[in-house]
Chains A and B, each alone.
Chain A
Amino acid sequence: MAAALLEMRHIDKVFPGVKALSNVDFTLHAGEIHSLMGENGAGKSTLVKVLTGVYPKDGGTIHLNGKEIYPKTPKEAQEEGISTVYQEVNLCPNLTVAENIFIGREPRRFGFIDWKEVNRRSIELLKKLDVDIDVSKTLDNYPVAIQQMVAIARAVDVDAKILILDEPTSSLNEVETERLFRIVRQLQKQGMGIIFISHFLEQIYELCDHITILRNGELVGSYEVAKLPRLELIAKMVGKNLNDVKDMDKMAEKSVPSDEVFIETNHAASTGQIKDVSLQIHKGEVIGLAGLLGSGRTETAEMMFGLKEVTGGSLKINGKEEKLSNPMAAMKEKIAFCPEDRKLSGIIGDLTVRENIILALQAMDGMFTHIPYSKQVELADKFIDKLRIKVSDRDQLIKNLSGGNQQKVIIARWLATQPRFLILDEPTRGIDVGTKTEIQKMAVELAKNEGMSVAFISSEMDEMVRTCSKLVVMRDRKKVAELTGDQISSEGVMEAIAGGEK
């Protein structure tokens, strides 16, 4: 085998209270697509950030093409030829799409930026990814999926030796993912070394040549993809033996809804957001809201949580017509909502895990009361334990948790309010395989054992099919179909999305 392109040896990284990486080795060859795997909080992103100079390393060496490098800032890493898409989309919302792609390396004429050229080349570049949007609009006009594509476009356009993609596909659909893969393979052929991180096993097996597994910040091993069956991979990631893992994936029996309806909408509409949605959610039912991005799934959920005004039709809870004018009104009806955009509308970064968990409950109790500290600790510990949230202690700042664990804290926040209707908008985005099934199981069990109604929104069809006892399919901000029982299948949903009204 040729000499390695990148060699990281004995990398250590300590955060206050956490040993994020200890003695990790990682080797990447030119023309190789190398996956970095591990549970949430295993240290994958940290390794990437150490490599690209975001965090200083506490020990170890990095060699690029045999020469030792010491990148101290992302800029220096870029200059060494390392191009990166970080896990959380890191672009500037106030700049145009074109600018986000080219900032720092804009084409110039006579020393001034040639905006025409910037726009032209961005359109061209995005076309390669089959994204057709107005590049002169600011980035905040576009949903996360587009933003992710923009970040990718930026990274693949530079002439780099190494391309790092940290969970680039977490909010992409299958088609978009396919396009990304096409480009990645092209770059591979050109001899680039690619590091690819994802929690989707299918994608790993489809795309990658090599897998390096981390667990709790330690190296488990490095394997060729062909020689590592899936179950073994999972077993290595979670650190259990094969037999235990086999049972893990088994899904609980779907819940059987009761006859009582908890919430229903009747031709509900919301100006500019939703056109016509009628649905009934029973007690003990897991209902899925399916549809493409922008089909109105999230907006429907937000309407049931008092974030979007109902301007047409009606909304009934327990048979009584209600006007939910703000989230608190919905919370009083025991409705809970885990939003899609975790960073923007979920976590309160500079508060501790404990405070984040009790926050919704405290808001319900009112501003002038105070949940006693001992009760807060009890609640926090209960959920940290129950959802197996990986924290160094309950008073760690939530912004320092890995993405998956942040998601669990948000779920815990709402479970603490003991809701009767729980809306989960993309709850498994960026969550590791084990936890993903845990969350699915949890949704079903909450419905079965506690008679809770659950609305589940996800872009992953498999997951919806496994979890939901009813699927509402949306298109163009309208409900177009409702599937139950045997009708629930990926094909059924696809047909409904593509076909006419049923």
Chain B
Amino acid sequence: MDKLKSFTSSSLFLPIVALAVLLIFNGIFVEGFFDIQITEDGRLFGRVIDILTRSSSLVILSLGMTLVIATSGIDISVGAVVAISAAVVCTLIGGRGDGAAETPMALAMLASVGIGILCGIWNGILVAKFKIQAVVATLILMTAGRGIAQLLTEGQIVTVYYKPFASIAGVIPGMPLPTNVFIALAMVLLVVFVMKKTSIGLFIQSVGINPTAAKYVGINVTLVLFLVYAFSGFCAGVTGLIESSLIKAADANNAGLNMEMDAILAVALGGTLLSGGKFYLGGSVIGAVTIQTLTTTLYALGVSADQLPVVKAIAVIAICLIQSKKARDLFDKWKSGRSAKAVTADAKAVNKA
């Protein structure tokens, strides 16, 4: 009983409930939603697996975004950084028709993740050193970033024919799941490990809650901010790899488009306040999966691409309302008010009799 209570009051409870409701809804209305098949070479197939695979990019982005938001910042450049990273890896490997790589793939991957980190560092400098408001600071890269990506690809869509490249977001033979699921899992574990073994998390929260007080206890606020944005850039770099591998090409206009908004949404659905402070990595991961589930569900139900945002918006507001403490309080009050009325009505009835 105690266990149950501690679970219901835990920060993860509501995000999990929201996801569970969505899954149950799917289970009832979408035929064969929970079916998972295994192919002969040990691969797993099914809608749930599909959701897991597709949400991996968003999971990775939301990790970085969570930490940035915890410092009471925001990073709206991640979508553009995804495009840059995708452009770097594709142009380095090159679009040679004979399927050869111009640069070794490992090197190209390193370079594209490196560029991601560099972009993050740039944001970090603007926010931490120049003390520019985060939205504006990251707006610069959001505006210029796609331009840089297009510059790299010279406005073309660079298609990569080098076979191994597809395996970043595809299945390596013998593995049960696509590689990007493992990448996302590894990133999550990495972050959780770092948060457990160091006090970075505590410092991030302190900076997000009260930067002046954080400075007074000797926390290097500048460094904390800097690291957080660099990490967000790193996450965007990795996502760029996955996204480009998924379509085996770099599309500077569309890679990572609007992903910053989805990532922020994932963080918020996970229970982290956008005003900073306490953060919930687990919540963000669940939030990311929830968003992907929602999209998949709506497509499965035959909602057209035009209507999709409309339904998504309503679902997001519904999820927020379920999670809102104030809404629950008001609901409780209304309920108790009603039962009180019922009691008085009963009493009256008794009196009359």
Interface residues of A (CB under 8 A from B): 307, 326-328, 331, 337, 339, 344-351, 355, 359-360, 362-365, 367-371, 413
Contacts and interface: CB of A to CB of B under 8 A. Distances in A.
A362 B216 contact: no
B203 A351 contact: no
A328 B197 CA distance: 22
17 contacts: A327-B217, A327-B218, A328-B220, A337-B216, A345-B216, A348-B209, A350-B278, A359-B219, A360-B218, A363-B203, A364-B218, A367-B203, A368-B198, A369-B198, A370-B197, A370-B198, A371-B199
Given A348-B214, A360-B217, A365-B199, 9 more contacts: A328-B218, A344-B210, A346-B213, A348-B206, A348-B209, A350-B278, A351-B209, A359-B202, A367-B198
A196 B196 CA distance: 48
A396 B274 CA distance: 22
A344 B213 contact: yes
A371 B202 CA distance: 11
Contacts of B205: 348, 350-351
A368 B227 CA distance: 12
B199 A370 contact: yes
B209 A350 contact: yes
Top 6 nearest A-B pairs (CB, nearest first) are: A363-B218, A328-B218, A360-B217, A327-B218, A350-B277, A345-B212
A348 B202 CA distance: 11
Contacts of A346: 213, 216
B200 interface: yes
Nearest to A327: B218
B210 A348 contact: yes
Nearest to B196: A370
Contacts of B206: 348, 351, 359
A362 B202 contact: yes
Contacts of A347: 210, 213
Contacts of A371: 199
A134 B61 CA distance: 50
A371 B212 CA distance: 23
B215 interface: yes
Interface string B102-124: 00000000000000000000000
Contact residues of B: prevailing secondary structure: helix
Given A359-B202, A367-B203, A369-B198, A339 B216 contact: yes
B217 A359 contact: yes
Contacts of A367: 198-200, 203, 220, 223-224
Interface residues of B, number: 24
A351 B203 CA distance: 11
Contact of A327 (B202, B210, B215, B224): B215
Given A345-B213, A347-B210, A370-B199, A363 B277 contact: no
Interface string B158-201: 00000000000000000000000000000000000000111110
B209 A413 contact: no
A393 to B, nearest CB: 14
Nearest to B273: A350
A327 B215 CA distance: 7
Contacts of B216: 307, 327, 337, 339, 345-346
A322 to B, nearest CB: 16
A371 B199 CA distance: 8
A303 to B, nearest CB: 14
Contacts of A351: 202, 205-206, 209
Nearest to A330: B218
Contact of B217 (A363, A365, A368): A363
Contacts of B220: 326, 328, 367
Residue among A326, A337, A359 having the largest count of chain B Cβ atoms under 10 Å: A359
A349 B277 CA distance: 10
Contacts of A368: 198-200
A355 B223 CA distance: 20
A485 B36 CA distance: 85
Contacts of B212: 344-345
A328 B203 CA distance: 14
Nearest to A364: B218
Nearest to B277: A350
Contacts of A326: 218, 220
Contacts of A348: 205-206, 209-210, 213-214
A245 B220 CA distance: 45
Contacts of B197: 370
B334 to A, nearest CB: 15
A369 B199 contact: yes
Contacts of A360: 217-218
Nearest to B201: A370
A302 to B, nearest CB: 9
A450 to B, nearest CB: 21
A296 B135 CA distance: 37
Interface in B52-68: none
Given A347-B210, A347-B213, A367-B198, A331 B278 contact: no
B209 A349 contact: yes
A400 to B, nearest CB: 14
A413 B212 CA distance: 16
A346 B210 CA distance: 9
Given A367-B198, A370-B198, A371-B199, A331 B209 contact: no
Contacts of B213: 344-348
Nearest to A346: B213
Nearest to B219: A363
A346 B214 CA distance: 8
Contacts of A339: 216
A74 to B, nearest CB: 18
Nearest to B204: A367
